[in-house]
Amino acid sequence: MPPSPRARFTELSLLVWVAALAVTGFVAVVGAETSAFGPAALIVPAVYLVLVLALHLFLVAQRFHGDQVLMPVAAGLTAIGLVLVQRLASDLLLQQLSWSIISAGAFAATILIPRDLTALSRFKWTWALLGLLLLIAPLFPLIGREINGARIWIKVGPGSIEPWEAVKLLLVVFFAAYLEEYREVLTQTPRRIGPLPVPPVPYLVPIVAMWGVAMLVMIFEKDIGATLLFFGIFLAMLYLATGEAFYALIGVVLLLGGGFVVYHLFGHVQVRVDTWIRPFDEDLRFGAGYQLVQGLYALANGGLLGAGLGNGMPDRIPVVWSDFVFDAFAEEAGLAGAIALLALNLVFVYRGMLIALRAPTTFLQLLAAGLSFIVALQTLVIVGGNARLIPLTGITLPFVAYGGSSLVTNWMLVALLLRVSDVSTRMRGRP
Amino acid sequence: MEITFAVLLWAVRIAFLVLLYLFLIRAFGALQRSLVTETVVAARPSGIAHLVVQRSIRGAARVGERLPLRAINSIGRDAGNDVVINDEAASAKHALLEFADGEWWIEDAGSTNGTVINGELVRARERLQYGDELAIGRVALRLEQ
Contacts of A336 in chain B (CB under 8 A): 17, 21
What DSSP element (H or E) covers B97? strand B95-100
pLDDT at B42: 57
User: Looking at CA atoms only, how far is residue A422 from chain B in angstroms?
Assistant: 8
DSSP state letter for B82: S
Phi and psi torsions of B61, nearest 5°: -60, 150
Is any Cβ of chain A less than 8 angstroms from the Cβ of B144?
Answer: no
Task: Give the nearest partner residue to B102 out of A17, A340, A427, using CB atoms.
Answer: A427
pLDDT at A431: 40
Task: Name the pLDDT band for A1 (thresholds 50, 70, 90).
Answer: very low
Q: What is the C-alpha to C-alpha distance for residues B145 and A343, in angstroms, rounded to an integer?
A: 38
Q: What is the C-alpha to C-alpha distance for residues A167 and A137, in angstroms, rounded to an integer?
A: 11
Name the closest residue on chain A to residue B99, using Cα atoms: A427
DSSP state letter for A396: P
The answer to whether the Cβ–Cβ distance between B101 and A32 falls below 8 Å is no
In contact, B134 and B141? CB cutoff 8 Å: yes
* Higher pLDDT among residues A192 and B26, named by residue: B26
One-letter amino acid of B126: E
Is any Cβ of chain A less than 8 angstroms from the Cβ of B125?
Answer: no
The answer to whether the Cβ–Cβ distance between A28 and B13 falls below 8 Å is yes
CA distances A48 to A59, A207, A329, A380, A416, Å, are 17, 42, 20, 27, 22
The answer to whether the Cβ–Cβ distance between A361 and B72 falls below 8 Å is yes
The answer to whether the Cβ–Cβ distance between A117 and B101 falls below 8 Å is yes
The answer to whether the Cβ–Cβ distance between B102 and A351 falls below 8 Å is no
Is any Cβ of chain B less than 8 angstroms from the Cβ of A295?
Answer: no
Question: What's the average model confidence in pLDDT over A115-130?
Answer: 85
CA distances A216 to A135, A139, A223, A229, A392, Å, are 10, 11, 10, 14, 19
The answer to whether the Cβ–Cβ distance between A25 and B71 falls below 8 Å is no
Task: Give the nearest partner residue to A35 out of B5, B19, B48, using CB atoms.
Answer: B5
Q: What is the C-alpha to C-alpha distance for residues A200 and A205, in angstroms, rounded to an integer?
A: 9
Name the closest residue on chain B to residue A345, using Cα atoms: B24
The answer to whether the Cβ–Cβ distance between A311 and B13 falls below 8 Å is yes
Is any Cβ of chain B less than 8 angstroms from the Cβ of A67?
Answer: yes
pLDDT at A149: 63
In contact, A85 and A33? CB cutoff 8 Å: no
Half-sphere exposure of B111 (CA within 13 A, CB side): 31
Q: What is the C-alpha to C-alpha distance for residues A65 and A422, in angstroms, rounded to an integer?
A: 5
pLDDT at A2: 40
User: Read out DSSP for A145-191?
Assistant: EEETTEEEEEEETTEEE-HHHHHHHHHHHHHHHHHHHTGGGGGSPPP
Question: What's the average model confidence in pLDDT over A227-233?
Answer: 87
The average confidence (pLDDT) of chain B is: 84
Lowest mean pLDDT among A61-70, A101-110, A195-204, B23-32: A195-204
**Crossing angle (nearest 10°) for helices A93-112 and A404-428:** 30
Q: What is the C-alpha to C-alpha distance for residues B97 and A50, in angstroms, rounded to an integer?
A: 43
Task: Give the nearest partner residue to B101 out of A27, A306, A423, using CB atoms.
Answer: A423
Angle at A76 between CA A410 and CA A403, to 5 degrees: 40
In contact, A117 and B101? CB cutoff 8 Å: yes
Task: Tell me the pTM.
Answer: 0.80
CA-nearest of A151, A102, A77, A80 to A404 is A102
For residue A39, the SS3 value is helix
Name the closest residue on chain A to residue B21, using Cα atoms: A340
Mutate to test the interface with A, among B7, B17, B21 (most CBs of A within 10 A): B17
pLDDT at A3: 45
Paired sense of beta strands B115-117 and B120-121, if any = antiparallel
pLDDT in tens, A281-330: 888 888 888 999 999 999 999 889 988 898 888 888 888 888 899 999 99
Residue A156 has pLDDT above 80, yes or no: no
Q: Could you tell me how many residues make up chain A?
A: 431
